[in-house]
Structure formats: structure tokens, C-alpha cells
Chain A
Amino acid sequence: MVLGNYKTALSARSTDADILKCSQDGGVVTQLFAYALEEGIIDGAIVAGPGDEPFKPEPVVAMSKEELLAARGTRYTISPNMKLIKEATRSYGLDKVGIVGTPCQMQALRKAQLYPMGMRSVPDKIALAIGIFCMENFPYQGLETIVEDHCNVKMESAVKMDIGKGKFTVYTERGAVSQIPLKETHKYEQPGCHVCLDYVANLSDISTGSVGSPDGWSTVFVRTKKGDDIWSKAITAGCFETKDIASVKPGLDLVTKLATGKIDKNKKTLEERATFGVGKGLRNPYI
């Protein structure tokens, strides 16, 4: 079950040219939130908005399409979106909260819903949780080092970053492309990612990522009843072009392969923690 529970898997992309202009892949996240906002399914969404340094995201509660658009694109560094989950129901006054996040953030969300420690009024206000696939993440300084030192690109010049096909790629404003083998980036990964056993955001309502689908398209898993309901409405409303996942290359085989690779590797790390010391080990949050 490396891909988690899901009702449907498919390949999709937004039909909104505005969204696609700056989205990372098929614009699935932004399109879904924009649709849900317009339909009143959510009244705001927590997304990784622009921060005070280039490619350093700052979580925001987006309550308009403009704010959603401003948050498009992947920032390969930590954006603590869950920090706003309570505030969204407080000073923002939301009743139906949307949130996007990496698999670990989806876990935090579900945990808060089931074990709401200091999370009064949060559990019943989560209306749409969109997960994004995630192999690993980087602290901001790590990302800066990768981009500025390894790729030789000033952070300010970068317009898009992408991890895929074993490469870390930076696209600049002036049209240049700088690429390095992913292997070079490993030492900058945040160590916490090495015990993470979820690749495709198993606990989200709908999860999406780039792997498995062609460029400009996204792989989508529709997982929960809520997710299914919203997804089918969005399809009926003409928000997405879709393709049968079986008909696209590389398809689910690659997703499964990468997910298995991540989980196996990180399980090993977890096991090693048990005997890390001499006669004693390090904590395992899963037991």
C-alpha cells in the first residue's frame, strides 16, 4: 500500500490558462482551491504564499483567487502551513478551511483532527485537504546553497525549480536552465525527512504531484469521500482536462517505484535508530 487508499488515480491539468502560466505542474492545487472557493466549499485556504526572500514561502490564509495565484509553484523548502490551522478558525473567521501540504503536514492535520491537543474548534472545520507528493525537503539555507553554489544561479534570478528524472533544475528569468545531479543535494536534505514513510500524501482528501504524468500534467489520487465529491463536481464544472492514468507514460509504475524506494530507505533509517547508541537507541515516533 505504498500509494495509500484511493478511489481514483488519473492524470490531469487545469483548463484555466491563467493558473497554468505559473503553476508547478498541472495546476491541480490552485485550480481545486479556486473552484472550491468560488463554490463556497471552502472559505479560505492555507497555502505557501510569497515570503520576504526569494523562494522562501510564508504560509498565508488565501481568501481570494489572487492570493491563490500568488502561491503557485513549488518552493523546495519548509513552509509550516499547519501553523495557521488554528488561526484560520480564529481571527480569519473561517468555517470551511482548505489546506495544502506535504505528506507530513497532512499527517499533522489528521492528527489534530483526531487528537486535538490545544486545537479547539479545528477538527470540524477542515473542508478540503490537498496533499502534494514529497520525496524530501530542504532547509532554506540548504536550498540557497544548492541554487547559488551548485547551480550558480542567484536566488533572485530563479523563476522555477524542479526535481525530476534524477536532477535538480533551476530556470532563470533570462531563460537559462541550470541542472545538477540530485545526488549532490542529498547532504542538504532536512534530516527529519529521513524517517518519513509517506510519498504521495496518503492522508489527504486529494493528492497530487508531477511524477507519473507528462510535463505540464499532474498525477492525481482522489482518496476520500469528500475528495471524490469535490473532484467530480470540479470535473463537471469543466475545471480539468483528464487522462486515464493507464494511458500515460510513465504512469503509476514509476510512482509506485519511487514510493517504494522512499519508504524502504527510510524504514531502514528508522530501524537503525533503534540501535544507534551503544546499548541504547533513538526515539521512534511510530511506536
Chain B
Amino acid sequence: MSKVVEVSPTTRHEGHTKLVLKVNDEGIIERGDWLSITPVRGIEKLAIGKSMHQAPKISSRVCGICPVAHTLAGIEAMEGSIGCEIPDDAYLLRVILQCANRLHSHALHNILTLPDMYLPGTDTHINPFSAEEPVRSVALRIQRLREIGQTVGEIAGGEPIHPSNPRIGGMYKNISPRAKAKIYDLAKEGAVLAREQMDFMITVLKDWENRPTASVASGYEVEKNEKFGFHDQGYMAVDPLYASTNLDADPKWYPERWTEVRPWDWYMGEQEITLDDPNYPNHATTPAGAKAWPQMEACTAVPMYDGAPIEVGPRARLAIFRNYDKKGAMGLQIARQMEYPDCLYSMMEAVDALDTSGSVVADEIPQGDGSLGWAANEAPRGTDVHLAKVKDGRVQWYSLLVPTTWNFPVCSRALEGAPWQLAEVIVRAYDPCVSCATHMMVVDEEKKVVAQKLVQ
């Protein structure tokens, strides 16, 4: 007889989610629903009627870890709608900003991941806050990597959290030769640290993978399954590093392949919690007898590509552009670490190519005729698609398909076969960013809105 256990809230990721898990007598997940319970904020709805300049600045506030993705995807979707091409040097500054943000985000995620992992060769979980070596040096290195990322973001983007420099048509400001040199120096320093950090993380992740048993943080050990975190869904990515938009000569994302279903059609119906565990780390699981109703509680629509859920993020990028083929939760984690060097090398390349006296704003910024524009930005967590229709400088329609929204159903599938006590390890492999993932319109094949949560 299967039982239902609920972990709510989940921890060590951005935002507010829970896990509703149907498990067999051995505690192995038969069906898992991982769902957002972050309140819908309704960015898409309130953007309507606002100026095309303001809407992306609002959508930046969707998330403070990857505001760069939302700012750039938002602006480029508007530019896609009005048909505005930006100058090369503005593009280069955006690329630098993108690299900077990915660097900081991946490093931040290391901190969230490490407590699940062990010091290789020992049974000691890693506590990133420990003052003891070797962990101390790792924590300091992570801090420095984040500092480098945020400082570069500050220079190229005006601000690392909610960048102020990007604007419709390019950027507000080019940078000084001094700032250019500073970015280059920081990237050089970061490249060395990033490589060390990547090597360290991959060692730690492989060590975890090779253990027969594991626990979440300092909980009790359970046996792992062989295909931990595997799923059979496909991958979606538009670029190894940056983005694709409808203005590209060869766009890499296809709006016609995207549909959505309501949480109602995809998540489990009402369940009674029949299994609980007062000793689950951080806080007990939901007490038995309580009710859960994923269909009703999930705050995200379920986007599909070619009619099926699809994984986005570091592994999807590596799988599509570099033939990476490692599956499972650790496959995803390792792919993320492998993106470290490129953040720095691409940053150096872009800053090298930058002409600090070049113009960074398009000469002409059309006001739009209501055509559909879209931009797919490869955010740290995967493809962040913004779609917009702009007419006379105002937003008529705006939709955000953010990485974690794509990953919710995929990750839910990937839970199957794992011991429920380790479900959070799978969730964390996706580096979820749930504030990002709450969006409320649902469209069908004809892109007609078929469901819309009311926002008071």
C-alpha cells in the first residue's frame, strides 16, 4: 500500500515550495509532485498598459538572484516586438553582465548544495559556515567568486541586483577604460578560482554519487537508488551562454512548440498525508492526517515544449551544445560546475572586444505596432523566455516562461524511484528559483489563454 508523505516547506533553494510524495512500503517514491506554493505576484498582468521601458524593470524584481536574466529577457522581448537592433558595444556589455550573474549564481548555489554533501572520504557533511579547514577556504573562495561576479555586474550593469544600465535600445552608459581594465583583472583572478572551485565541487559530487547511502544534511542515512534523479524528458536550451530572440537570423526557440496546461491537469488530486517523520532534518514533515491538494495548491502553470515537460538549465545547455550525456541529479549538478570557466573566459573575450568609446544606444527606437516579440535568455537556471507585444511604446501583452517553471514537472518525474528522504537532493540539483516560477496564465496550442488565476 502506498503512503503519502509531505515535506513542506523545502529548504536551501530560492522561494517557497513543497513536496507531496506517494511512496511504497520501502519509502521509495512512486509518484512525486514538487510544486510552488509561492504566492502569484502577477507581474504579467500588471505590466499591461505600462511603458515598455518600465515593464522589464518590474520583471527584474521577480527575483534577486537572477535579475539579470529577467531584465535582459524583458528588454530583449520588447526590442523583439518593436524590432530594435542594439549596437555591438551594448551587446558586449550585456554579455559581460550575463557572465557575471551566472558566476555569482552558481557560486551561491554551491553554498546551498554543500550541506547535503560529504567531505570526500569521510562521513562528515560539509558545513559551509564552519571555521575549520578545508571548508573555510572553500567558503572564502565561493565568497570571492560571488564578489567578483557582483562587482563586474555592478560595473557593466550599473547594479548587480536589478541592473540599472540595460535599457530598450541598448545600455544607458558605456564604461570607462579604467572600468574595462578592472573587469579584465577581476575575470583573470576569477578564472583561477573558478577552476579550483569547479574541481572541488566535482570531486565532492562524485564522492556523493559513489556512496551506497546518503542523508539530507545531518539526517539519517538511507540507501540510494542507482538511477538517482533520472527522468526521460528532453532538454531545451537556446545558447550555451547568452540568448536567442525573434530578431536573430536563426532563432533557436519556437513559440509554436510551446503550450501550457493547468496545474489541474498535471498534478495529483487531493491526498491525505499518511506517513510522517518527526525527525526529518530542519523540521518535521507534515503530520499524518493533514490534507494536500497539489492540483489546487500549485501556483505555476505547467509549460510544455512539443507537448511534454522539458528540462532546462546547465545540463540542457551542455547536452545540446556540448554533447554532455550524464543523467541524474549529480549529472545536473556536475554540468553546473562545468559552466564555471566559461563565465570567466566569455567575460574576458567580451570585455576585450568592447570599444569603450562606442555608442551603446540605438539611433532609433521604434515604438511598436503590437507584433509578438520574444527573447529567450539562458539564465543560470535555464531558458528564461519572455514574450511581449508592444504598441506605441506600451505593453499590450507580456508573458514570462521562467526556467524553474519548465523544471517543476521534469523534476517531479525525476523523483520517482528515489528514497523520499533524499527527494530534496534531487530538487536542489535543479537550483530552483521559485519566485521566478510563479506565473499564472495558461495558453493552449493556439496561444489562447485558457486559464487565468485572479489576482486581487
Contact = CB atoms under 8 A, between A and B. Distances in A.
Interface string A74-93: 00000000000001011111
Contacts of B173: 87, 90-91
Contact of A90 (B158, B161, B180, B181): B158
Interface string A176-187: 000000000000
Interface in A72-128: 87, 89-95, 120-121
Interface residues of A, number: 13
B127 interface: no
Contacts of B155: 90-91, 93
Contacts of A91: 155-156, 158, 165, 173-176, 179
Given A120-B154, A121-B154, A93 B176 contact: yes
B154 A43 contact: no
Interface string B174-194: 111011111100000000000
A85 to B, nearest CB: 13
A92 B179 contact: yes
B182 A93 contact: yes
Nearest to A94: B178
A94 B151 CA distance: 12
A78 B392 CA distance: 36
Contacts of A92: 175-176, 178-179
B159 interface: yes
Contact of A43 (B159, B161, B174, B178): B178
Contact of A63 (B161, B178, B183): B178
Nearest to A95: B182
Q: Could you tell me the dominant secondary structure of chain A's interface residues?
A: loop
Which of B174, B175, B178, B181 has the most C-beta atoms of chain A within 10 angstroms of its own C-beta?
Answer: B178
Nearest to B177: A93
Interface in A50-78: 63
A90 B179 CA distance: 8
B361 to A, nearest CB: 13
Interface in B113-164: 151, 154-156, 158-161
Chain B, interface size: which category? Answer: 10 to 19
A93 B179 contact: yes
Nearest to B163: A90
A93 B178 CA distance: 6
Given A87-B173, A90-B154, A91-B173, A120 B159 contact: yes
B165 A93 contact: no
Contacts of A89: 154
Contacts of A90: 154-155, 158-159, 165, 173, 179
A91 B172 CA distance: 10
A130 B265 CA distance: 66
B7 to A, nearest CB: 35
Contacts of A94: 178
A87 B181 CA distance: 17
Contacts of B181: 93
B175 A93 contact: yes
Contacts of A120: 154, 159-161
B357 to A, nearest CB: 13
Nearest to B176: A92
Nearest to B164: A90
Contacts of B180: 93
Nearest to A90: B158
Nearest to B93: A91
B264 to A, nearest CB: 42
Contacts of A121: 151, 154
A125 B165 CA distance: 20
B148 to A, nearest CB: 13
Contacts of B178: 43-44, 63, 92-94
Nearest to A118: B159
A49 to B, nearest CB: 15
Nearest to B182: A93
A87 B159 CA distance: 10
Contacts of A95: 182
B165 to A, nearest CB: 7
Contacts of B183: 93
Nearest to B179: A93
A87 B179 CA distance: 11
Nearest to B174: A91
A93 B161 CA distance: 17
A123 B401 CA distance: 38
Contacts of B161: 120
Interface in A119-163: 120-121
Nearest to B151: A121
A93 B158 CA distance: 10
A94 B178 CA distance: 8
Contacts of B160: 120
Contacts of A93: 155, 175-176, 178-183
Nearest to A88: B176
A196 B175 CA distance: 36
A94 B179 CA distance: 7
Contacts of B159: 90, 120
A89 B183 CA distance: 12
A113 B333 CA distance: 40
A253 to B, nearest CB: 45
Contacts of B154: 89-90, 120-121
Nearest to A43: B178
Contacts of B156: 91
Nearest to A121: B154
A26 B314 CA distance: 61
A179 B311 CA distance: 77
A43 B182 CA distance: 12
Nearest to B171: A91
Interface string B241-260: 00000000000000000000
B150 to A, nearest CB: 9
Which of B159, B181, B183 has the most C-beta atoms of chain A within 10 angstroms of its own C-beta?
Answer: B159
Contacts of A44: 178
Nearest to A44: B178
A63 B179 CA distance: 12
B364 to A, nearest CB: 23
A92 B161 CA distance: 18
Given A90-B154, A91-B175, 16 more contacts: A87-B158, A90-B158, A90-B165, A90-B173, A91-B155, A91-B156, A91-B165, A91-B176, A92-B176, A92-B179, A93-B179, A93-B180, A94-B178, A120-B154, A120-B159, A121-B151
Please list the 4 inter-chain residue pairs (A to B) with the smallest Cβ-Cβ separation, ordered nearest first. A93-B179, A91-B173, A93-B182, A91-B175
9 contacts: A44-B178, A90-B159, A91-B174, A91-B176, A92-B178, A93-B180, A93-B183, A95-B182, A120-B161
